[in-house]
Structure 1
Amino acid sequence: MTSAGPAAATRPHNRKQLIVEAAGQVFSERGYHAASMEEIAAGVGISAAALYRHFPNKYALFAEAANVMVDRLVAALDDAPPDAALRDVLAAIIRVTVSHRASGGLYRWEARYLEREDRRRLRTKFGQLVDRVTEMVGREFPLPEQGLRAAAALGAIGSVTMHHTSIAQRRIEDLLLESALRVAATDPGSAAGSASLVELPAQPVPRTRRAEILAAAIPLFARDGFANVTNAQIAEAVGLAPSAIYRHYPGKVDILVAACLQAAGLLAQAVDRSLQRAAGPREAVVALAAAYVAYSFEHNALTSVAEAEVAGLPPDLQRPVILAQREHIAVWEQQLRLARPELDPRQARLLVHAGFGVVVEAGRALRWQDAPGHRDAVTALVIGALG
């Protein structure tokens, strides 16, 4: 009888699970196209060849990783008794989300790279999750827009996967739970008229060829993902030969950087104009929420590109975009702490991101239709998340 050898003796039984966990984290942090099988294998401490024994290619591993979080969330709901309180169910969802925070952001933006059938399957699972939470929200808080409030509450929870603010896990869970419950209990009509607080900067009019290229590229990036869009597609949208793009931008990535910086600039202008009207800290927080919601509806394609693609930028090009984002969050943090002095900076930052998560998921639930009242409803839910 031959021995399997020391390597086989120490091989973990859950290696496939470890691979999926490592892959989720790499895909979340680097993006699908920037991630490599070698990088994922290194995170598990194995060779790329060993990785291919479990998954035939990067896409198969990506599809598996994309489903892990939602499967865990569905399992947490399945374990809850039929008469479980909303607080207990949300707490279970939060524990799963926070425990897998590093890889949980994968579905938020990267799922666009799933093939159609895999994307449909993932959406079905999330739809079941939202439906279950909607039922509980309606039972405990019989107010209008139960589905919208449920999606927004889950957005507040999921926001923790999109940033790196460091707080003790128990404190994160407590803050997210109270934020999500406030969202679930918020009447979407409670911020009626908040849109009047906002004066958005005008949509930039492309007056140069460079600006025309940028305006054409943004909706393509938003629809198909930056990596899937070619310079030829952008050139065709503008009526140029592909080679003409290089007279205005050194490469496609430079168009993406310009889009991200344009997003940051427009948002900064909206915030400055809104805060000028605020009479006090609470009014300032409401004005910030209304401005961010209005901006997200008005510039949805630009916003999704800036938020989804920044992680894939080279570090030197990423730096000014990250700095602009941090400056924006610092404004929120300062105003929220003036309105809620009991919060420390990290707690305030966590809640600010929860508010951003509400906008993303509530906006998606409304299909970003800029109908009367939608901006006010989402603003009310953001204010609820912030407490």
Structure 2
Amino acid sequence: MTADPTTAARPRNRKQLIVGAAGRVFSERGYHRASMEEIATGVGITAAALYRHFPNKYALFAECADVMADGLVAALDEVPPDAPLPDVLAAVARVTVTHRASGGVYRWEARYLNREDRRRLGAKFQRVVGRVDEAVRREHPSADDRLRAVAALGAIGSITMHRTSIAGRRAETLLSGAALRVAATDPSAALLGVRAAEPPAQPVPRTRRAEILAAAIPLFARDGFANVTNGQIAREVGLAPSALYRHYPGKVDILSAACLQAAGLLAQWVERSLHEVEGPREAVVALAATYVAYCFEYTALNSVAEAELAGLPTGLRRPLVLAQREHIAVWEQQLRLARPELDPRQARVLVHAGFGAVVEAGRRLRWRDDAGHRDTVTALVVGALGL
């Protein structure tokens, strides 16, 4: 009997290939916009063949969410318990860069896991944090909580959240170095007295359209865009669901308006903070202080803009991507003036490392907003940037 050529040609690691392809799609498009058909196409198989490995999209998604965590746990298990901090962080960076294309699943999309899967995934990451924290404390005994450990991990994990083209080894070196500097940062370090300028005024809803937007943002931040209904938004402002369409063509247009508002507020704040700053180092510190202040001041708005951008249709996403690029360009220019040895790609990677440190440090602090927390996180960002 002649073997079925399709069966004979089937790679033994097909399940691994499926998970890799799915992780990339989930990271780029978000859980709800990703489809099994698109994932199957990426692997070169039919959707029917895909369902032979995974019964549904959720099962595949849950498997993807575990890949990074399992890789990190396994890599750190191979590092001796008393290994120096550079060895621990190098292992983390190696796994993270390897899974760069799919690693973004855990940062924002993991909220769509059910409670048990989320608890299990969280336990794995806590093992990783604990291991890094132990190494940080050995090297820097004054560290009295996990803040520096999680910020260092955030700096490394940032590589999964952008597409700057850079060779794997260079990325590992840059990220490990940034994380080491974060771990070594004295959170009370003086920052040249540079502070963020006064923030732009909080948007005051003066129209029904603005009221709808203001009501939707905390719902999107708490439950995720896909889980919020028009009915929920309408109830918050005392309207019938059908009345929303007089102000926004659809729910996605409310999300787009929220993301544009976030970009506009950040751009205004950056412009104010750089207005009277002298020197590139002071400019970078001002940028860091401003970004940190923005994240604490507009936590819900920023989380929506960061987490939901991938879910916007291309036409609505384009102006937001351009705004992001302009913002990064400002950082890149000032950082390269302060550190002329950096090339553009290195500078961009480090800027994103700073952003990653803010996200994880802010979460650790539960975004409790006070001047001390802002100064502490700003110092960690400046450390990541190598100033």
Q: Same fold (TM over 0.5)?
A: yes
Structural mapping, 1:98-247, within 5 Å:
98-191=97-190, 196-247=195-246
CA distance in 2, matches of 1:192, 1:122: 37
Q: How does 1:368-383 map to 2 (within 5 A)?
A: 368-383=367-382
**Superposed, which structure 2 residues align to 1:9-28 within 5 Å?**
9-28=8-27
Please, what TM-score do these two structures have when normalized by structure 1? Answer: 0.97
The alignment partner of 2:108 has SS state of: helix
Distance in 2, matches of 1:41 and 1:386, equals: 40
Per-residue deviation, 1:197: 3.5
**Residue identity in the other structure for 2:376:** A
Distance apart, 1:120 and its partner CA = 1.3
Structure 2: which 5+ runs fail to align?
A: none
- 1:74 partner amino acid: V
Q: What is the identity, as a one-letter code, of the residue corresponding to 1:268?
A: A
Shift of 1:192: 6.6
Q: 2:107 aligns to what SS in structure 1?
A: helix
Quickly say closer, same or farther: Cα 1:145–1:290, change in 2 above 3 A.
Answer: farther
1:165 match: secondary structure: coil
How much has 1:372 moved relative to structure 2?
Answer: 4.2
Q: How does 1:1-387 map to 2 (within 5 A)?
A: 2-191=1-190, 196-387=195-386
CA distance in 1, matches of 2:297, 2:113: 27
C-alpha displacement of 1:63: 0.6
Q: Which amino acid aligns with 1:12?
A: P
CA contact (8 A) 1:31 1:311 kept: yes
Say what the alpha-carbon RMSD is for the aligned residues: 1.2
Q: 1:198 to 1:127 in 2, by over 3 A?
A: farther
Structure 1 residue 89: Cα displacement = 1.3
Amino acid at match of 1:189: S
1:40-79 CA-partner distances (Å, limit 9, x unpaired) = 1111111100111111100010011001111100111111
Secondary structure of 2:361 counterpart: helix
Q: How much does 1:117 deviate? A: 1.2
Given that 1:192 and 1:377 are in contact with CA atoms closer than 8 Å, whether structure 2 keeps it comes out as no
Change (3 A) 1:301 1:145: farther
Task: Give the 3 Å change call, closer, same or farther, for CA 353–238 of structure 1 in structure 2.
Answer: same
- Runs of 5+ consecutive residues of structure 1 not aligned to the other structure: none
Q: Partners in 1 of 2:190 and 2:129 — Cα distance?
A: 24
Query: CA deviation digits over 1:125-155, x for unaligned, max 9?
Result: 1111111101110110123344100000000
What secondary structure, in the 3-state scheme, does the structure 1 residue paired with 2:11 have? coil
> Displacement, 1:105?
0.7
Secondary structure in 1 aligned to 2:101? Answer: helix
Length, aligned pairs only: 386
* CA shift for structure 1 position 198: 3.0
Equivalent pair of 1:145/1:188 in contact (CA under 8 Å): no
Task: Compare 6-15 and 146-155 and name the one that shifted more.
Answer: 6-15
State the one-letter code of the partner of 1:220.
L
Deviates more, 1:2-11 or 1:208-217: 2-11
TM-superposed deviation, 1:344: 1.0
Contact 1:94–1:157 (CA<8 Å) still a contact in 2?
Answer: yes
Query: What residue identity is the alignment partner of 1:298?
Result: E
In the TM superposition, what is the alpha-carbon distance from 1:207 to its structure 2 partner?
A: 0.8
Identity %: 77
Q: Secondary structure at the match of 1:102?
A: coil
User: 2:370 aligns to what SS in structure 1?
Assistant: coil
Contact 2:136 2:143 in 1 (8 A): no
Structure 1 runs (4+) deviating above 6 angstroms are none
Instruction: Quote the Cα distance in structure 1 between the aligned partners of 2:287 and 2:362.
Output: 17
Structure 1 residues 106 and 153, CA gap change in structure 2 (3 angstroms): same
Q: Is contact 1:285-1:332 (8 Å) kept?
A: yes
Report deviation, 1:13. Answer: 1.3
- CA shift, 1:169, in A, is 1.6
Contact 1:141 1:185 in 2 (8 A): yes
Q: In the TM superposition, what is the alpha-carbon distance from 1:206 to its structure 2 partner?
A: 0.7
Shift, 1:193, TM fit: 8.6
Q: Post-superposition shift, 1:92?
A: 1.1
